[in-house]
Structure 1
């Protein structure tokens, strides 16, 4: 289970050159996501209604480590168990931990969180799940597993992005104004069918699993990208992902305009624009085990 992006594939092992390339692309997008949204992630970790600083943390669907390292920064005495289905992402996370000199505070575990039996992840004080819960095929079972492993009084933080971020002004691109919104509409139709828990209200499900929801908030994200190369690359990678789910529903004119945006060599490429911004929302639930 890989985290950070609601539109990235999260299930199954990676095999073969095509999947390896896709995994590399996903890892790059996760890293860009972590870089661009770092300030907002830090604000969420600071908001968590913790009674004491946690010493043992589990990051479910850790990806390449955006949440893991934000939590290590926020809680300098804590150790984090980072869990993901992708061996490649876990290897990158370990490399980053070594580069930062925190490898002794990080344990990685490869596991598919849709399996009925989870590996032993200890008894954490805090469990963090960012953009991973909505990919669970059996979220009620996953919530029960989290409740069972948390220490009494421990906290579970669920963080979800509100779908794909927006990047372009409404009147862009000039030849097909409103293209990005039409891509969102087409992609949302796909995800409604294939990822039914995206956009879910996790409050009632957390309560049903035995948690007490102690905090909910929505974080508005608006990151200006005029002087940020990372925002341009983030927009490119995100729209490339969106193309895979939206293409069948787009007109030929829209698809051609989208491909011009996605061609880094084209003068119309999104990476050459100076009017980009990252606009989205993050919903957060903080739930305690009694």
Structure 2
């Protein structure tokens, strides 16, 4: 397998639903800020022929679905998510884009042992969704049984939530963001144990042949972008929810100041933000 590194200027991914409006906001901002990054992954896939039937597992509000529809103009996508709200957003956007006849939405719990009929796809796409599975081994076997012979399974996973602030920020508590992420690690280890996992061996154990692996480094300069500011605000707000019990009172106060829209120190008013993260893609073939 080979690993390549790329520095795109935008991109995004889908996740299983059920997290409410805050999750939908992060999905939408992820899509807006990271669009080129997502398109580059779709273009990289080692396909033997253009897929006609695609399944997007944990589609969220549709960033992956629409990237795939654009990349493969003859394809139809079955978009699967646990959230009825996310799927309704996706249907509205499909109509607005003039592609409602190319999208089928299916509400389903992918941790269930009994998946609905998703057809026989040539390509299954799972972007930032597999790490949410309570039983990933079972889900991988389900995908293997779903795919057409020779079909491709693309697993896109994130290396934690993006970082946004310079290392010496904020001025009152330099390094706060890294401490907040460290404080949240214990929560994530307990509640999302497969985040950051190496999916290669698990894919092989499920019967796939892993053909390639690619790590994509994302480093997007905000340059005062309103979207990056809102993305940072939503991301840090989410980190606060799991990090707060382990943060010092001083760090928590500084974090709350960053999140206060009325504060001159809010991330919404900073012009030195960036989006820094890594995504790894595994391309696995059903042999």
Contact persistence 2:58–2:127 (CA under 8 A)? yes
Q: Deviations over 1:254-289 (max 9, x none)?
A: 000000000111111001000000000000000000
1:147 aligns with 2:144: yes
CA distance in 1, matches of 2:22, 2:185: 22
Partner of 2:195: 198
Partner of 2:7: none
CA distance in 1, matches of 2:39, 2:14: 17
- 2:255 maps to which of 231, 241, 258: 258
Q: How does 1:73-222 map to 2 (within 5 A)?
A: 73-222=70-219
Q: Deviations over 1:215-242 (max 9, x none)?
A: 1010000111013110000000000000
What RMSD over aligned residues (CA atoms) do the two structures have, in Å?
A: 1.2
Can you give the 5+ residue segments of structure 2 that lack an aligned partner in the other structure?
A: 1-11
Contact persistence 1:4–1:30 (CA under 8 A)? yes
Further displaced range: 260-269 or 51-60 = 260-269
Q: TM-score, normalised by structure 1?
A: 0.93
Partner of 1:275: 272
- 1:39 maps to which of 22, 36, 40: 36
1:237 aligns with 2:234: yes
Distance apart, 1:23 and its partner CA: 1.3
Contact persistence 2:127–2:155 (CA under 8 A)? yes
CA distance in 2, matches of 1:144, 1:88: 28
Distance apart, 1:4 and its partner CA: 3.7
Distance apart, 1:141 and its partner CA: 0.4
Query: For 1:222, what is the secondary structure of its paired residue?
Result: strand
CA distance in 2, matches of 1:232, 1:5: 20
In the superposition, relative to structure 1, how do residues 122 and 5 fare at CA in structure 2: closer, same or farther (>3 Å)? closer
Q: Deviations over 1:35-92 (max 9, x none)?
A: 1111110010010000000000000000000100000000000000000000000000
Aligned residue pairs total 276
Q: TM-score, normalised by structure 2?
A: 0.94
CA distance in 2, matches of 1:30, 1:230: 12
Contact persistence 1:5–1:161 (CA under 8 A)? no
- 1:71 maps to which of 50, 68, 72: 68
CA distance in 2, matches of 1:75, 1:200: 29
